[in-house]
Chain A
């Protein structure tokens, strides 16, 4: 037996907690986007139809405006924003181009299943300047996707439809199992939206993009059921320390 009776106390390191993985992902992406030149802006989650729909060229007849898709509050005087785009509308009304904004946060839609929740998180960006083009949008999207998934990821652009962009595109990445997965939506800002924000669409054009934070987080962390993020289960949260 050793005669050494000096006690070296083992470490009793304080346990750390964790950022919520969705907020961590959101902040990480937004932090990356600021390095591309975007400025972070914020806005209210309770919005009006004017900012959430009308200013974005979403007509009254658009299905998204129906009671089965959007949460209305306060006797239909307001709604829970269905995207973070109204934040950008407010910013465009108060700033002159060139402007480059990103907004991230909670948005709400009337869904509730294993892949959709009534509350989820979105990040959207807009850049308005003289002669912004679709080919520049593509360059930006490549940068965003590469920063998220690495330079080796294969991606494709598909024509799509959003009332607030024209042309519009959806971007897919090729997953390890050979399936294409939709990652984000983007496009050239519809001139009507610029005009609604008192920006002369003959002199300025813009690009815009939006992505769902949960979707990216599910892919990056291998979470298959979106509801796991919101159970506040410490066994779940502790995995993201």
Chain B
């Protein structure tokens, strides 16, 4: 909510700086930003009482004395004989109407009203609607102004389940669906209660006779309607968070006062209906209990002073003001005291949680992960949502979109998508796994925690694994290490239905953890948890280019130097390099070192010329080593 600093100052007897107020607002829990002397405050949803100048001043009164007695009309107001029926007293237990007529149209506003529009850069509508909006800003209570002459019949408030159309006062056409709380007159909806009024009964600049509706709607009756109809009004925001059910008399008298400040009033009548008990919420005055909650030793007098400054009335018990619907127990009072003290001013007290625990043992799930990671597999986490399902799939009632309307009932499909994704990024050795709960629906919801593994491409990039394929045999031998025989359980995924031109075979395993967990009982767990947190380097979306070289080394004593230089290369755009071949040619008494260099830029697709320049910077220091040569040309281009 936007609140102007200078408007707030009008209610504060002291005149604190904007910085002082800002600090106190944070202390009270009112997160905000400041732009050009306007606070934009994000109140927590339980603090609907703060959604106004008055409400905020009441909260700040604990730091700066506030004068919250706004000028109001004090004379007796005659009763209005209004044809009104409330068929929804549970949704609207308190409602008042004010009929107010003025002699002449109002064309100029007093400073306080004019400043409201100019300071907050708001558009004016018509006099009565403008006063209505100002009252909501000043006092937090939304009111609705009807042109009284446009209402021809009885007004009925009811829960409406009839479908139909409604045009808002902003000109938006709405098709009413489901149940809504509405005001109806002559069988037409004239107001979507608590959200927005209708165009047919709205005030205009010509309106001189207005009917002002001032209601308390239970938040439950309003919540969800603004989203349902995509109408985010100030009124709905306030009603959803709760307004003061006992403020109507004061609000309408303030309304009259503002009108009287601008025009000669020729008629005033009021209608009131109250179904709410006038009994206040009362809580025990128990400073010890509050101290026990906070871990403090606040004196009784200081506790009383804090609560009093927040508007609580204290006698033998604590009487909660009607606008504080969020205060219901001693913990709520403890929070009030904590806010006044300041959370950061409450000293920490040493906590010692009595633990029956010894060092937690390593689970077999952790051992499975450790085993796979030690063998070059990377763990992935995939979305549980998918586009299609089968008879046991669980359907999402309200999916984000049609591609995510089921919960997946296998992990393999996700892993295959991961393979294709990485192949498109020129990955030629892919070893992934995921462990996840998989849910299915039979007579009830069933859960199975599963491990799925996928492989495709080379076994690795070192010179021993480079030319070995990832295949069924690889998986069989891998799991034989923990005596798990997967014969017949490894699936070769057919490529013909995959969106990929690459033909490298894909193999998968999918097992329930309960079936394989015991095979890892004796596996030695090695923790891979991070000690130091690496700083992520953003990934380039530009294609990479690779170049292979086969270096020939005649003097074997130079091999170490060659390899060291190759490992410590610092060349522009070199993303990755590794030795894929190491071979002794006994006929020529030379060692061949095959090395792959992968180039990629974060800014662009590299040109041949740019890559060649980087290659020159690689080759020059290597070829300067005695007995090292580069027979032939690049192996790949």
Contacts and interface: CB of A to CB of B under 8 A. Distances in A.
B421 A222 contact: no
Contacts of B537: 239
Nearest to B431: A17
Interface in A91-146: 98, 100, 106, 108, 110, 112, 118-119, 127, 129, 131, 133-140, 142-143
Interface string A37-77: 11110001110000000000001111100111001111110
Contact of B294 (A72, A98, A134): A134
Contact of A37 (B44, B353, B380, B528): B353
Contact of A20 (B380, B398, B563): B380
Interface stretch (B13-21, B371-379, B614-622): B371-379
A135 B296 CA distance: 8
Nearest to B407: A73
Contacts of B559: 7-8, 10
Interface stretch (B149-157, B162-170, B300-308, B329-337): B329-337
Contacts of B530: 21, 24-25, 28, 240
B425 A129 contact: no
A61 B334 contact: no
A190 interface: yes
Contact of B293 (A14, A133, A220, A236): A133
Given A231-B421, A233-B421, A71 B398 contact: yes
Chain B CB within 10 Å — which of A12, A13, A39, A140 has the most?
Answer: A12
Contact of A14 (B44, B335, B376, B397): B376
Interface string B550-581: 00001111111001000000000000000100
A24 B528 contact: yes
A19 B46 contact: no
Given A135-B346, A139-B348, A74 B378 contact: no
B517 interface: no
B536 A223 contact: yes
Contacts of A236: 536, 539
Contacts of B560: 8
Contacts of B355: 37, 39, 100
Nearest to B433: A17
Interface string A190-207: 111000000000000100
Contact of B380 (A168, A192, A228, A237): A237
Contacts of A76: 397
B461 interface: yes
Contacts of A78: 445
Contact of B627 (A1, A131, A161, A188): A1
Nearest to A100: B353
Contact of A190 (B331, B347, B404, B627): B331
A159 B339 contact: yes
A74 B395 contact: yes
Contacts of B584: 7
- The A contact surface, by secondary structure, is mixed
B591 interface: yes
Nearest to A4: B557
B110 interface: no
Nearest to A106: B384
A129 B353 CA distance: 9
Contacts of A10: 463, 559, 563, 579, 582
B373 A18 contact: yes
Contact of B343 (A12, A39, A159, A166): A159
Nearest to A131: B292
A25 B385 CA distance: 23
B441 interface: yes
Given A4-B557, A131-B292, A230-B383, A167 B335 contact: yes
A92 B160 CA distance: 42
Contacts of B397: 67, 71-76
Nearest to A111: B400
A138 B345 CA distance: 11
Contact of A19 (B343, B379, B432, B439): B379
Nearest to B557: A2
B287 to A, nearest CB: 14
Contact of A17 (B379, B395, B425, B563): B379
Contact of B404 (A39, A118, A230, A232): A118
A18 B384 contact: no
Given A17-B376, A232-B418, A233-B539, 19 more contacts: A2-B555, A7-B559, A10-B563, A10-B579, A12-B465, A18-B528, A21-B530, A23-B381, A37-B353, A68-B398, A129-B354, A134-B346, A135-B296, A135-B349, A139-B351, A140-B351, A158-B31, A191-B331, A240-B530
Task: Enumerate the 3 nearest inter-chain pairs by beta-carbon distance, A residue then B residue, closest first.
Answer: A159-B29, A133-B295, A135-B295
16 contacts: A1-B554, A1-B626, A16-B376, A17-B378, A18-B379, A28-B529, A44-B447, A46-B394, A138-B348, A142-B348, A158-B343, A166-B329, A167-B293, A192-B329, A221-B535, A234-B425
